[in-house]
Structure 1
Amino acid sequence: MVKRKGTPHDAAASNLRGQKTQSAQAFRQILKVIARNMVSPAGILGCSIVLWLATLSIGTAMLMTSRTDAFNHALRNSRNLTLVLERDIERSIDLYDLSLRAVSDGAADSQVMALPANLRDRVLFDRAATAHYMGPMTISAGNGTLIATSDPRSAGRERAAPDLNAAGHLMTPDGLYIGRPVHSSANPAQFAIPLGRSIYRPDGKFLGTVMGSLSMEYFRELTNGLSIGERGSVIVFETDGTLISRLPDSSENIGRNFAQSPIFRRLMTGTEGHFVGTPNLDGVRRLYVYKRLPDLPLIVAVAPAMSTVYAEWWARATWFGALILAFTAIKAAGTWLFVRELRRRQRAEASLERMAHHDPLTGLENRATFDDVLAREWKCARRNEKPLSLLFIDIDRFKSYNDQYGHQAGDVALKSVATRIAACLDRPGDHAARYGGEEFIVVLPDTDTRGAALMAEKIRSAVFNLQIEHRQAPLQMLTVSIGVSTTAVDRVTDASTLLKTADMALYEAKRLGRNCVSIVPQLDTECAA
């Protein structure tokens, strides 16, 4: 059979699989680390803070969205009110203009004007002055002389508006004149807006003017019925800055010119729009939604107060803030209690873990832990082809020591010996365990026979230097015997054999007089007389 040699493609695929396996293992390791950290007190505290921040962020985002919705809702309502005002004003002024047109057409008819005065007035004003809030109408000649009036009581005292006559040459045959607010002739305590048209003959010759007036009560009644909230305002301006109407009512400002005010300047920036501003009249910050009426020199603005716009939102925000504070307090208290309990349990688990893996008297690893460590280190030594050494330590004549000095003194001696053994180990990978009774085991990874012998002698000397009195011992002191075994021995083929050969070396040290270090394979012995 001929074996097919591997191709470069096969090698590349194998390397790729190996990289994927390593990546998967690294990813699993990262997940384990993350999971372990998350269940720690610091992890719980961090997760709690993240959750609190997430809750606060979501709530804040919802509040900001709600705030925007409140603004847009007020904007829509104000636009609807502006549209209602626009249509009502246009319809009313169109109605009044129709009356003015009718009178103007009659006044331009020479046959109508040739009729007797009473019949002429009935013909001229039959369709006029019928609209609500419409004041008396007058017909004046080009020089201002009164020709006719719809109110006989005003004959002789009603004159055409001087400013209309002065501007007559600027008016077109179809032009409607809207003047500034003036005191009404019928009721001087009230204001009215003059309305007028020029009278032209069919051949285009200017004959005079027809004048009427629109009572300011119309605007007052129109705006009083609107619901714009507390401290809201409705304003009607002429395009030259003259204030026609304002809600809340302020009669002293009617007719004033506000052309230089910041609010009016912003109202003139477009045909319609909105902005937030604070007028000098009352200092209330408002949302101004305005529109310039087409074909009329008027601007209508609806301005709810910002405090009203955000009133419900502020109430919601206050409740949200209170709930967040309560949630924060409860969560902080719960997290603190949970972390405290977790730490207590972790300390208890650590204590149990230590008790499960360590000898309670000496603090060294116990027999079960030693078995696990030995099995693990044996596999590691075989895999890496590194030496592994074992020290088997036994306290000499310890039974007689207990009989003479008592078990309490014996426990103290065991602790002292264990402390010296642990102190002699200078590498993190070295392990010391209590094997049972007065016996101890030391596992030395990556240590050959010579290194193990040096460590054994170091431990023997350290225990000897404790100078623990033992009158029944030849040297009158407590000593130890140590057996050393390594994987360099041919017959050591598994962990149990390594332990067995170390035990055999210990017995050899005992046989040769104790206070000795006996080494396998030659069972070389170093004893202190």
Structure 2
Amino acid sequence: MFERKAMVTRRPNIVIAISIVLASAILAIAVWVLAQMRDDALRRAQDSVFNVSLLVERDVSRNLEIYDLSLRAVIDGLKQPGVLELDPAIRQMVLFDGSASAKDMGSILVTDEAGNIKFDSQATPPRRVNLSDRDYFKVQRDSTNVGLYISHPFVPKVSGKEISIAMSRRITRPDGSFGGVVVGTMRLTYFRRLFAGMNLGAGGSMALMLSDGTMLMRRPFDPKIIGINLTGTANYSRFTQQPSGDFFGTAAIDGVERWYAFRHIDMYPLILDVALSTRDIYVEWRHRAWIIGSLIAALDVTIIALAVLFSYQLRYRRAAEEELRVLARTDGLTGLNNRRTFEEHAEDEWRRAQRNAWPLSMLLIDVDSFKGFNDLYGHSAGDDALTAVARCISQSVRRPGDTAARYGGEEFAVLLPDTDETGAAFIAEKIRAAVQALQLRHVASSQHVLTVSIGIATTRGEAFATSRALLNAADDALYEAKDAGRNRVLSYRTVTHTSPRGGATVTPSTETRNSV
């Protein structure tokens, strides 16, 4: 757990990446939910359309069946002996039942073989009209097995009122010859009122047509399209391919895309289609999708924005921690490493040198007579002098593995991994010369300029047991350089006599000087 937190802290971009993945997952779930809701909206619309089409089919089929039974009753009545000799009023009652006077039902007529009206359910004596030019008469006259025939729309001659259709049956004489027709008319207002009672939405449509493509009634109603033929249109072609079905299509009449459910009305040459506009099907879904989509988008944006803000805070915290780390490991005046950092590096390099049998050299550098410098020139000038000495050390110690530090007060230390005594002496002399070259006036010094003394200690096998012993050796060498007159470099070498400072067994090494 702590490792994961540390990784997030080290890599703030991971927070943004995680937030994007999370936002994408939420978006994917929302899209899936909206897709399911869209499918549900379509299924509900389909169920509604199927129910409407079934209801309309049953209503139309029932009324046509009742009217057909009335036509059959007239034919059967005409076959009964003595009916034709009855009193006209009684004959009307025998031949025509009450269905002939139902709402939206027109007249039931009986014609002779020439098309003249013999009996009329609406008038006694019958109106004098010839119907031989009507399609329902011609079809029955020319064919013996048509059965019930439903005509194309027309305006009745006998009433001259609303557009109607006719249902006719053939009257066949005992010898099989044509004896006329029985025809009943039905006003198209019946279908118009029936369609108007169905809830199909603002863009929905409903149509009833003959099997040959002739339009009988359509919602939305337009009298100009009654009687037109739809043969050759894409939707009509689909209507004729199977008894019932559904599909998405575009209406040839108004160009609106709809979902269609159609069925052939059983026993009758009629096709009913009920259609919902795709816009109406998804109007509620679109409203909900807009709300849900807006909320999800706002949520995703918020998640990513918070992640970006949090990432920025992590970067700021990381930068602050890095700055604190640098401050904790750096001397504020000179910009070099501080003593604590130097000792950590010294311990690490000591262990590495012991493992690999590499030489390790250490320099201790002390500014000569620095107390007198401070007393003469002030602490501000003393700080400037220490900064200048630090700069000389930094410019002389350039390898990545080398470490330079302010060890305390006017004392500095340099760690030189994989460097023998000769290399260390070269670098030490370079530092000493660079400081002297600054020519910082110091009248309290024997050199009259600011100088440094440097002590060198280098590991040789097991000569030093610890890094502290190596540091002490460099300190002893520095003491000897100070004692020998300052402004010089001395190396520590182990010999078998006692150091003047006591403790370790030491003797001064060959000195390196600059004659001034």
Q: Which TM bucket (shorter chain)?
A: 0.7 to 0.9
In the alignment, is residue 69 of structure 1 matched against residue 40 of structure 2?
A: yes
Kept after mapping to 2: 8 A contact 1:468/1:477: yes
Q: Which amino acid aligns with 1:65?
A: Q
Give the counterpart of 1:236 among 208, 232, 240. Answer: 208
CA 1:210–1:524: 2 relative to 1, 3 Å = farther
Kept after mapping to 1: 8 A contact 2:425/2:489: yes
Kept after mapping to 2: 8 A contact 1:102/1:128: no
Kept after mapping to 2: 8 A contact 1:287/1:305: yes
In the alignment, is residue 143 of structure 1 matched against residue 114 of structure 2?
A: yes
1:219 to partner: Cα distance? 0.9
Q: Which amino acid aligns with 1:111?
A: P
Kept after mapping to 2: 8 A contact 1:177/1:196: yes
Give the counterpart of 1:516 among 488, 497, 509. Answer: 488
Other-structure match for 2:505: none
In the alignment, is residue 227 of structure 1 matched against residue 199 of structure 2?
A: yes
Of residues 281-290 and 218-227 in structure 1, the stretch that sits farther from structure 2 once superposed is 281-290
Other-structure match for 2:503: none
In the alignment, is residue 111 of structure 1 matched against residue 86 of structure 2?
A: no
| Matches of 1:255 and 1:240, distance apart in 2 | 11
Of residues 145-154 and 437-446 in structure 1, the stretch that sits farther from structure 2 once superposed is 145-154
Q: Counterparts in 2 of 1:28-43, with a 5 A limit?
A: 34-38=7-11, 40=12, 42-43=13-14
What is the TM-score when the length of structure 1 is the normalising length? Answer: 0.83
1:500 to partner: Cα distance? 1.9
Other-structure match for 1:23: none
Of residues 250-259 and 512-521 in structure 1, the stretch that sits farther from structure 2 once superposed is 512-521
Kept after mapping to 2: 8 A contact 1:112/1:123: no
1:180 to partner: Cα distance? 1.1
Q: Which amino acid aligns with 2:251?
A: P
Other-structure match for 1:196: 168
Q: Which amino acid aligns with 1:453?
A: A
1:287-328 alpha-carbon deviations (Å, 9 max, x no partner): 333233343322222222333222222322333454456556
1:448 to partner: Cα distance? 3.5
Q: Counterparts in 2 of 1:54-203, with a 5 A limit?
A: 54-107=25-78, 109=79, 111=81, 115-116=85-86, 118=88, 119-126=90-97, 129=100, 132-153=103-124, 154-157=126-129, 159=131, 162-168=134-140, 173=145, 175-185=147-157, 187-200=159-172
In the alignment, is residue 210 of structure 1 matched against residue 182 of structure 2?
A: yes
Give the counterpart of 2:380 among 391, 399, 408. Answer: 408
1:248-284 alpha-carbon deviations (Å, 9 max, x no partner): 2212221122324444344445443334444354444
Give the counterpart of 1:311 among 283, 291, 294. Answer: 283
In the alignment, is residue 463 of structure 1 matched against residue 435 of structure 2?
A: yes
1:408 to partner: Cα distance? 0.8
CA 1:204–1:434: 2 relative to 1, 3 Å = farther
What is the TM-score when the length of structure 2 is the normalising length? Answer: 0.85
Other-structure match for 1:274: 246
Q: Which amino acid aligns with 1:151?
A: Q
In the alignment, is residue 498 of structure 1 matched against residue 484 of structure 2?
A: no
Of residues 411-420 and 504-513 in structure 1, the stretch that sits farther from structure 2 once superposed is 504-513
CA 1:51–1:128: 2 relative to 1, 3 Å = closer
| Matches of 1:163 and 1:136, distance apart in 2 | 17
1:472-524 alpha-carbon deviations (Å, 9 max, x no partner): 22333222222222332532122222222222222232233323333343634
1:61 to partner: Cα distance? 3.8
Secondary structure of 1:137's counterpart equals strand
Q: Which amino acid aligns with 1:527?
A: R
| Matches of 2:438 and 2:446, distance apart in 1 | 16
Kept after mapping to 2: 8 A contact 1:74/1:309: yes
CA 1:242–1:400: 2 relative to 1, 3 Å = same
1:33 to partner: Cα distance? 7.9
Of residues 140-149 and 397-406 in structure 1, the stretch that sits farther from structure 2 once superposed is 140-149
Q: Mark the runs of 5 or more structure 1 residues left unpaired by the alignment.
A: 1-27
In the alignment, is residue 376 of structure 1 matched against residue 365 of structure 2?
A: no
Kept after mapping to 2: 8 A contact 1:142/1:165: no
Kept after mapping to 2: 8 A contact 1:103/1:128: no
Q: Counterparts in 2 of 1:466-485, with a 5 A limit?
A: 466-485=438-457
| Matches of 1:525 and 1:443, distance apart in 2 | 20
| Matches of 1:170 and 1:34, distance apart in 2 | 94
CA 1:73–1:441: 2 relative to 1, 3 Å = farther
Identity of aligned residues (%): 40
Residues paired across the two proteins, number: 498
| Matches of 2:344 and 2:20, distance apart in 1 | 40
Q: Which amino acid aligns with 1:494?
A: T
1:197 to partner: Cα distance? 1.9
| Matches of 1:379 and 1:142, distance apart in 2 | 129
1:201 to partner: Cα distance? 5.6
Kept after mapping to 2: 8 A contact 1:173/1:200: no
Q: Which amino acid aligns with 1:480?
A: V
Kept after mapping to 1: 8 A contact 2:129/2:157: no
Secondary structure of 1:434's counterpart equals strand
1:178 to partner: Cα distance? 1.3
1:389 to partner: Cα distance? 2.8
| Matches of 2:234 and 2:36, distance apart in 1 | 30
CA 1:173–1:402: 2 relative to 1, 3 Å = same
| Matches of 2:271 and 2:62, distance apart in 1 | 15
Q: Which amino acid aligns with 2:8?
A: A
Secondary structure of 1:244's counterpart equals strand
1:370 to partner: Cα distance? 2.1
In terms of Rg, which structure is larger? 2
| Matches of 1:207 and 1:298, distance apart in 2 | 27
CA 1:182–1:494: 2 relative to 1, 3 Å = same
1:432 to partner: Cα distance? 1.9
